[in-house]
Structure formats: C-alpha cells, structure tokens
Amino acid sequence: MSFSEAFLEILITAALLWTGGGAVALIVLLLIDWRRGNLW
Amino acid sequence: MPEFFLAQSSVSPATGWIIVLVLGVLWVALGIFWGRKAKDSEGFMLAGRNVGLSLGSATAMATWVTSNTTMLAPVFALTLGIWGMLAYSTASFGLLLFALFAGRIRTLLPKGVTAGDFFRLRYGRFGWSLFLIITMLYSLSWLVSMAIAGGDLLLALAGIPYLQGMSLILIVCVLYTLFGGLYAVIGTDFLQSVIILLGIVLIGGLVVSQLEFSEAYEHIQTYQPSLLKIAMPAALLAVFNNMLFGFGEVFHNNVWWSRAFAMKKEIAPKAFALAGILWFPIPIAAGFIALAAGPLGINITEANQTGPTVAAAVLGNAGLGAFAGVLILVVLFCSMASSIDSLLAATSDLLIRDVNEGLFKHKVDEKRFRKLAAIVILSVGALTWLLAAPHWPIINALFISGPLVGSLIWPVIAGLFWKRVNRGFVIAGILAGSALGVWAYFTLGWFTASLVGAGVSMVATLLGRFISPGPFPDSTELTSESS
C-alpha cells in the first residue's frame, strides 16, 4: 500500500468517524446543558 | 467489484411537497414555541444573550454548512482531488479563529448588537457605510444563492417546478424566523445540524462499505491520477484562497457577530472553537464520495449533481432505493434552511439596528420593535424571492464578493486587538483591496481574488499601524456594561 493510498483511506475513515462523533458530541452536550439548565 | 446501477434518485413531486411541508410545519411550530421566550428586542435579536455551549456550537456549525458544502464539496473532490476536499475544509479555520475574537468582541462591546456597531465604533461613519455596502452585497448574494439552490434541489429531486420549490423553502424559513427570531433560528439549527451530520455519515458509511479501497485507488490512479497528486498547483492556490474567503466571510458578517453576542460571554470562544472542530471533516466526508464514482462505475453526467448522484446509486445498491431521495432531500433541505434562517435574522438585525436606527436615526421603542422586525424580515424575504425568481447566476455575485469580504479581515483584527491605527489607511486598504481583488477575479482567476483582496488590505492596514497611527475614537455608548 503506497503512502497516498494509506493517506486517502485514513483521511476518509477519520472524516466519517469525526463527523459521526460530532453528532454524538452535540447530543451529549445538549443533555448536559439541559440537565444543568444551561441551554439558553 | 459488485455491479452498480444508478438508482432513481428522485422522489415524486407529492413526496417532495410532503417532506418539505412536514419539516416546515415542524420548524414553524418550534419557532413559535421557542419564540415565546423572546420578551423584548434583545430576546428576539440575540436570544437573551445567554445561549449555552451545545446550542451555540450547533448553530455556528449548522450555519456554516450550506448547500454549497454538501453539493460543492463533491465537485471540488471530483475536479481537484484530495486537495479539493482539504481546501474546502480550511473554511473551518474561520470559525476556529473567530473563537479567539469572540471573547474580545464581548469585552469590547458588552452591549453590542451587530457587527455594524463595531465598524461604527472603530472606523467612523464612512468605514461603517463601506462595511454595510459590502456586507449587504455579500449577505444578499449568499441568501439569494441559497434560495436558488433550494428551488434547483426540489426541481432535481422531486420534479417540483423551480418557482414553487424556491418559494416553498423561502416561505418556511421566513415564517419560523418571523415568529421566533434568533431563538427559533438557534433551536432549529441544532436539530438541522444533527440531521446533516448523521445523514452524511450514513451515506459516507454506505459508500465505504461498498468500496474496496485498494481497487478504488488503482482505478483513480489509472484514470484520474491528478486527483491523487499531493502537489497540484491550482488546488494549492484554492486552499489558500478558500481559507481567506472563509476568514473574510466569518470575521465581518453579522451572522457570526450576532451569535457571539447571543452566547454567554465565557461560552462564546468555546462554542466557536467546537463548531470549527466539528465542521472540519464535513467537506471530506461529504466530498470523498465523488472519488468513489469512477471505481463504483457511477456515471456522472452533471458535475454539480455529483453528490446526490453517487449517494442515490450507493443507497440504491444497499437496498435503500426508495429511501435515497428522501434522505438526500432532508439533508440538503436542512443544510439550506440552517443558513437561510441565520441570514434572514442577521441581515434583518443589520437593517433595523444599523440602517433604520443608525443611518436614518429612527429610534425604535420596545412596543413597536416586533412589528418593525416582522416588516423587515418579510421585506428581506420578498427581496430574496424577487432576486431568486429569474434564476440569475447570483452564485457568481457571491464568489465576486470574496475579495470584498477578504479586504475586511485585517480591519477587523486591527479594530479588535490594536489600540492605535491610521484609520485612513485602513479604509483605503478596504477600497483598494476590493477593487484589485475584483480585477484579479476577472483577469487572473477566481482562485486568486480573495488572496489579492486580503493581501492589499493587509499591507495598507499594517502601514496604518506604523504611519501616523491614532487612537480609536472613545465611545462609551457600547463599551459600558451599564449602558
């Protein structure tokens, strides 16, 4: 596997995990803010 | 490699109407519900200046995810390869840097309402007027291009006639902004951002599951080797140009300033930083699917439909054909609505606060505020509709505004962090940067315009730092906590 092939695979996998993780992080933060009465 | 087919991506016009109406009714109902919290003008324009981390991060991120992000990122990947996706991702640096500004903004203008307050305070009436012209041109072209994209989307995916689709999306966004102000915008932005993120991951995950990386890589290397080049000059220039365009857009525009004013003071820097971090992978996650088109045997007939075409084919191959059009429509509708609502609210705030109160000296009392806000939001919506109806290529106006907003980067930095500057130099830099940047757009190429605008303005602003600098005018009107 060449460097650029590995780079492409890692980049795409990381981007998808990062994006999905972002959605989860937002929901968790919302629950924390809601529990603490910090929504707005 | 499995055999792929191009699935029928479109839904019926009736399904398209139902999806947009169901989402529209939901957004409007939530807008009315959340809008009840807005007891005064500050509540309506700034959501009470008390927005927390989760809603603050989501609204900043969702506003920056436009239909361009989800539709253009695959086009960038298709034409500029790996660097095309990364170029788009650099737009997130604008949010990350704005995180550094947000705390300073709240310290400098604890009672500020719009970005115009800053320009008036720092650069006087002329600099403020210049800012208003640039920001109105930029905001309106962004708003109109989103409305046009909405009409195009419903036509392409659901066969709904352009004028009907464009009107439908615009009416939904106008209504919930009208009823709920920034509360409605921020609340719906949260739901829209989660839908967008999950939709992109679902589609991207299906593409990855159907793609053999080594075969895909070989295919691209054989048929489109330029897409894998690490050093691709045009793409590298695009990286820097896009980054500076993004800086200019975020640093100056009231969409972001109003959010900085709306969030809790200690939360604002964290929320913008988190929004930037969450936004960074989106153009890659949404864009890489274009690289899969060739290896998966998907025929791209129209470059600007790359994203939906690949998504529909992959969803179809996964046995989700009927669901494909619905999912794509929902994700794209959310990415448009989250920007249109923010632009409607922030542009209306500028018209009420800066144009009506500032330029025309019409003081608005609290009793008349909501009526005026409604008139202004409806007027902005109507103007957007009028400009979007003929389907002119307004997106070009948005791209041409790149050097204009790029020339505001350094004036914002100087005004926020410096104590003294020669204001004449700064204003001359904005004018020269804008003019030369537009010239570069037409003569050298789009990928140089923002670089030229920002560069010329930077030189002038730095000269103004050292040649006869003067203190900024004293103003207690906006800097006093007790005002």
Interchain contact B278–A (C-beta under 8 A): yes
| CB–CB contact B197 A19 (8 Å) | yes
Extract the tokens encoding B154.
């419903």
| CB–CB contact B190 A30 (8 Å) | yes
Name which residue leads in pLDDT, B290 or B261.
B261
Q: Distance between CA atoms of B426 and B345, rounded to whole angstroms?
A: 29
B138-189: pLDDT as tens digits: 999 999 999 998 998 888 888 899 999 999 999 999 999 999 999 999 999 9
**Residue B108 banded pLDDT, cuts 50, 70, 90:** very high
- Chain B 35-74, residues with CB within 8 Å of chain A CB atoms: 37, 47-48, 50-55, 57-58, 61
Name the packing angle between helices B446-466 and B233-252 (round to 10°). Answer: 50
Nearest to B228 among A4, A13, A38 (CB): A4
Contacting residues of B for A8, CB less than 8 Å apart: 82, 213, 217, 228, 291
Q: Distance between CA atoms of B66 and B62, rounded to whole angstroms?
A: 8
B43-52: pLDDT as tens digits: 999 999 999 9
Q: Distance between CA atoms of B437 and A10, rounded to whole angstroms?
A: 37
Mean pLDDT score of chain B, rounded to an integer? 89
Question: Domain segments of chain B: what residues?
Answer: 13-394
B333-389: pLDDT as tens digits: 999 999 999 999 999 999 999 999 888 888 888 889 999 999 999 999 999 999 999
Extract the tokens encoding B368.
């008349």
Nearest to A40 among B51, B230, B280 (CB): B51
Which range has the worst mean pLDDT, B95-104, B171-180, B290-299, B407-416? B290-299
* B264 to chain A, closest Cα gap in Å: 8
| CB–CB contact A19 B282 (8 Å) | yes
Q: What are the phi and psi torsion angles at B394 (to 5°)?
A: -65, -25
**Residue B479 banded pLDDT, cuts 50, 70, 90:** low
| CB–CB contact B55 A11 (8 Å) | no
- The residues of A whose Cβ lies within 8 A of any Cβ of B are 1-2, 4-5, 7-9, 11-16, 18-20, 22-23, 25-27, 29-30, 32-33, 38-40
pLDDT confidence of residue B477: 54
| CB–CB contact B204 A9 (8 Å) | no
Whether B115 has a pLDDT exceeding 90, the answer reads yes
pLDDT confidence of residue B232: 64
With contact defined as beta carbons under 8 Å apart, do B348 and B191 qualify?
no
Overall average pLDDT of the B288-311 stretch: 83
Extract the tokens encoding A8.
């492409």
With contact defined as beta carbons under 8 Å apart, do B45 and B181 qualify?
yes
pLDDT confidence of residue B482: 39
Name which residue leads in pLDDT, B72 or B173.
B173
Whether B476 has a pLDDT exceeding 80, the answer reads no
With contact defined as beta carbons under 8 Å apart, do B327 and B105 qualify?
no
pLDDT confidence of residue B2: 34
pLDDT confidence of residue B231: 61
Question: What CATH number labels B13-394?
Answer: 1.20.1730.10
Nearest to A15 among B54, B58, B281 (CB): B281
Contacting residues of A for B213, CB less than 8 Å apart: 5, 8-9
Name which residue leads in pLDDT, A33 or B313.
A33
pLDDT confidence of residue B57: 97
pLDDT confidence of residue B398: 84
Whether B418 has a pLDDT exceeding 50, the answer reads yes
* B207 to chain A, closest Cα gap in Å: 11
pLDDT confidence of residue B341: 94
Name which residue leads in pLDDT, A1 or B174.
B174
| CB–CB contact A30 B285 (8 Å) | no
Extract the tokens encoding B200.
């992109």
Q: In this structure, which amino acid lies at residue B118?
A: F
Name which residue leads in pLDDT, B483 or B231.
B231
Overall average pLDDT of the B313-320 stretch: 84
| CB–CB contact B37 A40 (8 Å) | yes
| CB–CB contact B54 A32 (8 Å) | yes
Reduced to 3 states (helix: H, G, I; strand: E, B; else coil), residue B421 is: strand
Q: In this structure, which amino acid lies at residue B338?
A: S
Interchain contact B282–A (C-beta under 8 A): yes
pLDDT confidence of residue B8: 46
Extract the tokens encoding B416.
């926020």
